[in-house]
Every structure is written in C-alpha cells, then in structure tokens.
Amino acid sequence: MADKRDLEEAETTVFSAQTKKRKADLETKNGKGNEKDESSDECENVLRTFETSAVLSESAREKNIFVHGKMWGQDAVVILEKTPIQRDVLSQMFSESSLKLQMKNDIYSTFQLQAPAHLNEIKATLVFPATQKHIQKYQRQESFLLEETAQDYLSITLPFIQEQRFSVQWVYNILEKKAESERIVFEDPDPETGFVLLPDFKWNQKQVDDLYLIAISHIRDIKSLRDLSSEHLPLLKNILHKGQAAILDTFGVPRSKLRVYLHYQPSYFHLHVHFTRLGFEAPGCGVERAHLLQDVLQNIQSHARFYQTRTLYCPLRADDSLLQKYRDAGKI
C-alpha cells in the first residue's frame, strides 16, 4: 500500500532532484565531468554502479525479475522485464536471427534463437533511492484477504491512512504539468469533473495487446472507493466516457475491448482509474481488488452512499502494516 505506482504501479523510474545533484557532485569530485542528458535516447548507463544484494522476486511466466541492491551507498530496486514481441518485426526476426538446434523429434523442433540486439530489448525500471517500503513491496509475500466493514474502515483503515501521510506529490506534479506532461494522451481541465489520461509505466506503447493507461482526477479530496458517493457521478461518468473515446481516437481500441476499473485498496490515495485491454492480465485486475467502473456507477446510482456502508474485501501482503492493525484489533 505504500506509494506504489502499479508502476501498480509502478513500475516507475524515479530520480529525485536531490539524487541527481548528489550523483553530479560525486562525479565532479571523482573527475568524471559532464554526464549525458538522461532524457536523450542514448543515456549514461547508471546501472553500471548497481551492486546486487538480493533477488526480491521473479516470474518465469511474466518474464521479469525484481532485484534489490545499492547505488552510491543507497538502496535501489531494479526491475527487468522482457518486452513483448511486436508483429511488425517478425519477418526481420526470422530472417536476421541465428538458430541453434536443441531438440528434434518427428515434426517437432526446438531452437535457441538469438535475435539482433535491437529486437531483443529488456525494459529496465529503476527505483532510486528506494525506501524500505519499496523493497518490501517488490518482495514476494504471502497475501491475506481482508474483510473491511464500514465501521472497520472508520476505526482502523482511515486512521491508519491519516497517520501514514502517504505522499502523492508525484501525482500533483503530473496534474500541474511539472512532470510527465509530454506523456499525457488526453486532458479535461475541468476542476470538478476533469482528469488527465496517460500511459502506465508498465506499458511500452509499442503494441495495444497490453494497453494500460491511468486516468488521474483533478479533484484532490477523493482518497479511494470509500469516498465516492452520488455527488461524484458526473466525475466518474466523465472519466469513463471521455477516457474510452480518447483511447479509441488515439489507439483504435473500442470500449468493448477495454477493462475500466478502480483498485481497493488503491496503491496511492488519490482517485485514479485503470484502463487496460480486455484479455491482458494486468497486475491487480483480479476480482479481489478490481472494481469495474461501470459497476461502481450502478452501485452508487442505486444507493447514494453505497461505498460508505458496504463491507469491502481487499488483498494485503503479510508485511503490510494495515494487516497488523487488523490483527491487533482481533479482526484476523
């Protein structure tokens, strides 16, 4: 639940201004001089200084690995992911790759295919400096399904959220165009019903099979599903309809091919809505955490304060501090 970005996020390449300054100071002190612009296509390999401490988790199915280590004496997390194969490079991959036969049996043959470097990319995401919460977030953990009544939310969950004071400054930076403005696909600037729509960092935007965008509302006082009521129907409908239209116009994916949902618990406490391609098993799209926006609209239309009265369920990791709060209260 810490400030995850699914980079659910995140999933986010993070370099604070202070970190950049420390890095520049260190390089100047060591006589390395000028570094290349990080925004250029060819940037300096900052991972060259990464020292591996432990593998936090890995998935052969999803072809990714999460690694904890150190950079310039500070904790860092590196996420390595194999990028999806694009259809428009198949002919090039077949013609320019080298093959090594591994097994042949009747009509079946398996090979080790070595593709050209430009067709064999690995996406690298760096979280630096990483906090202990980041490290715990990426570490494989046992999960528990939390049953949260309306009273539990008021007496346990809400005080926990208020105590933690989770930072969403990076969200405000996007809304105020201080960061990532070039990534915004669509914006409705209305202060009450408006939002920005931009790609999630998990999507490389090279194919629509794993399309993943996030709509972030301009209004700032909605933490989660629990805060939504009938007064927010215009906002939610606007996000749904204009978000679907923008994705159709920009990426050619119709609304019948989109899964539009909110997370509970969210990974950061500012209203945001996920748009993913139907058929893509995005992290967090399971029924224990994802709530279809269309269902949310119908629920609120049938009961103005539906989410203030309902018992909600959500998965929490074994090391989640909120889970311990519920244990201490005798709820688990």
- The string of pLDDT tens digits covering residues 195-220 is 999 999 888 888 898 999 999 999 99
Give the pLDDT score at 219: 97
Give the pLDDT score at 196: 98
Mean of the per-residue pLDDT values of the chain: 85
Gap between the terminal Cα atoms of the chain: 18
Percentage of the residues of the chain whose pLDDT score is greater than 90: 52
pLDDT at position 269 over 50: yes
pLDDT at position 254 over 80: yes
DSSP secondary-structure letter at 3? S
d(CA 94, CA 97): 6
- Is 241 an active-site residue? no
Contact 182, 101 (CB under 8 A): no
Give the pLDDT score at 135: 82
Collapsing DSSP states into helix, strand and coil, what is residue 300? helix
pTM value is 0.67
Maximum average pLDDT range among 56-65, 95-104, 186-195: 186-195
Q: Tokens 């970190």 — which residue?
A: 19
Give the pLDDT score at 202: 82
Out of 68, 232, 270, 272, the active site residue is 272
Q: What are phi and psi of 319, to 5 degrees?
A: -95, 10
* Domains, the chain, ordered by start: 84-120 (3.30.200.40), 141-328 (3.30.428.10)
- Tell me if the bond preceding 265 is cis, omega within 30° of 0: yes
Maximum average pLDDT range among 129-138, 228-237, 280-289: 228-237
Give the pLDDT score at 41: 53
Give the pLDDT score at 127: 84
Give the pLDDT score at 36: 42
Better-scored residue on pLDDT, 303 or 86: 303
Condensed to tens digits (0 to 9), the pLDDT of residues 12-35 reads 343 333 334 444 444 444 444 444
d(CA 71, CA 95): 40
Collapsing DSSP states into helix, strand and coil, what is residue 100? strand
